[in-house]
Structure formats: C-alpha cells, structure tokens
Amino acid sequence: MKLETAPEPKYWHLKTVLSDALDTEFTVGEILPNERDLAARFGVARATLRQALEQLELEGRLQRRRGVGTTVAPPRVGVAVDPTRHTWPGAAGDDWQAVAASETDTVPAAVARLLETAPGEAVHVVRRNRVSAGQPVAAELLYVRSDAVSDGVDMVAADPAAGARAVLRALQALDLDGQDRTVELGSARAEDAKQLDRLPGSPVLVVTTRYVSQGRATAVAVSTYRADTCRLTFGEREPEPLLAG
C-alpha cells in the first residue's frame, strides 16, 4: 500500500513545523534548545535540522550566534532607503556615522562604470555605518569623484572620521540633480560582515545609489544591509510601529 504523499523534503516539512512552533510556543528573544537536541527530538540528522534553521534565519525568524545559541528574532526593522527628500549622503539627520576616508585610483569595475570614471582617475572613498534601534544594520562604501570635492578636503587629517566628514560636507555644497538606485542580493564581504556583526558570506541586500550632479555621475554609494534583520522601505510610508501583536 503506497501512500499518496508528495515527496516533500524533510527539511522543508521541518521548517513549517518549527515555524508554527515559533508562532505559538515561543516569544521573541527566547532561546531554543540546541541543535543536537532538536535534531534528536525530530529524528533527523543535525545537518538536516540545520538546513531548516538556515531558511528560518534567512526569513528573519531566527537569530543564531556561535557559542551562544539560537533565539527567536524580533520582526524585521523597517529602514528608510528613499527619504522622499532627495539629498546627498551625509545630510543632517540621517542615521549614518562616518568612519574613515581615503583616496584611491582603483575602484571595482561596476562602480567605475556607474561613476563614469576613467581608469586611474582618483576618487575619495568614505566608509560609513548605519545604526538603527541600537543595532548595526548597514555598512557602506561611498565613492566620490575627487574633482567634485577638491576644495576644502584635507586628507591628511589625523582623525580618519574627520576626513570622512570633510568629504561629506563638501558634497552638501553641490547641486544634486537626482539619484537612482538598484537593490540586489549579495553575500557579505569579510570587511562588511565584521561591521554588521555577522559571519562572512551572510546574505545581504546591496543597495547601489548613484548621485547625479550637473549632468554627471558624481558619487556612488554601495550599501550592504543585513538581509535577516532589515526590511527596506521606499516612498512615503513610515516604518510602522512594531506594536502589531
């Protein structure tokens, strides 16, 4: 006698079971049993259980930390990406903090294409981090044509953050014609992962913004957002209060 079951993968079924359990039997921040116990309880190998946990983490339902354990994640935080107002990065009141700046003549090919820079052309690179609700949510590399901010930027500042702020300040003085953006999935580079308090390779949402001034591409920002904890918001809607129960 053959059952008429769809051959659903074990980890898939496991995921839905766990997902339901999270909704009904656990509260945000609560810590789950460890992976070996969970696997035993469900009668599967640890690798199979981990496949289910991985998906749930990807969907922002779980948070796993090595040496600590697996906890139930809070709802994703909405982070505004397009604050209707079209402004340069570093405008007053954003949640970004400048970390450091440097100057280089080698940028990723994709950035060079967007910036329309010739090979070897100098650009300023500013590193910034974004914090929301006390948690780091994004790391960014901002590329600015050096010729656009040549005045008033002294790169020999003893304090790296001061140099970064100087570049951002110089930008504010320019007219901003417009900006456009792309969003895609990526995996965190080692450097960004550290800023985001995640392991290298973690899934991230990569937001690429191009700033146009005087008919030319003047700056390009590559921002990597934690995909597990962030929901990017565009337009007028305010990130709704997290009271939904």
Partner DNA sequence: AAGTGGTCTAGACCACAGC
Partner DNA sequence: CTGTGGTCTAGACCACTTC
Q: Give the footprint of DNA on this chain (CB under 7 A).
A: 7, 9-12, 32, 34-37, 43-48, 50-51, 53, 64-70, 199, 201
DSSP letter (8 states) at residue 1:
-
DSSP 3-state assignment of 152?
coil
175 binds its own copies (CB under 8 A): no
Does residue 178 touch its own copies according to CB under 8 A? yes
- The residue count for the chain: 245
Q: How far is the CB of 20 from its own copies (least distance, A)?
A: 14
Instruction: Put residue 49 in one of left, alpha, beta given phi > 0 → left and psi -120 to 50 → alpha.
Output: alpha
Beta-sheet pairing, 77-82 with 96-104 = unpaired
Cβ 17 to DNA shortest distance, Å: 13
Going along 40-95, which residue ranges are E strands? 62-65, 69-72, 77-82
Closest approach, Cβ 36 to DNA, in A, equals 6
- From the list its own copies, DNA, none, pick the one residue 48 interacts with, judged by a Cβ distance below 5 to 8 Å according to partner type: DNA
59 binds, among its own copies, DNA, none (CB under 5 to 8 A by kind): its own copies
Q: Which member of 17, 28, 58, 155 binds its own copies (CB under 8 A)?
A: 58
Of 1 and 6, the one with the shorter C-beta distance to its own copies is 6
Return the residues of window 68-107 that contact its own copies according to CB under 8 A.
76, 78, 82
* Backbone φ, ψ for residue 83 (5° rounding): -75, 75
Radius of gyration of the chain (CA): 22
60 binds its own copies (CB under 8 A): yes
User: Could you give the CA distance from residue 156 to residue 99 in angstroms, rounded to a whole number?
Assistant: 15
Nearer to its own copies, 25 or 238 (CB): 238
Residue 210 contacts its own copies per CB under 8 A: yes
Residue 241 buriedness (CB in 10 A; 0-12 / 13-18 / 19+): exposed
Q: Which of 139, 169, 102, 142 is nearest to 230 (CA)?
A: 139
Instruction: Examine residue 243 and tell whether it contacts its own copies (CB under 8 A).
Output: no
Q: How far is the CB of 207 from its own copies (least distance, A)?
A: 9
- Among 43, 85, 185, 215, which residue interacts with its own copies (rule: CB under 8 A)? 185
Decide if residue 228 touches its own copies (CB under 8 A).
Answer: yes
**Residues in contact with its own copies, shown as a per-residue x/- string from 116 to 155 under the rule CB under 8 A:** ----------------------------------------
Q: In whole angstroms, what separates CA 151 from the centre of its chain?
A: 32
Report the C-alpha gap between 196 and 42 in whole angstroms: 33
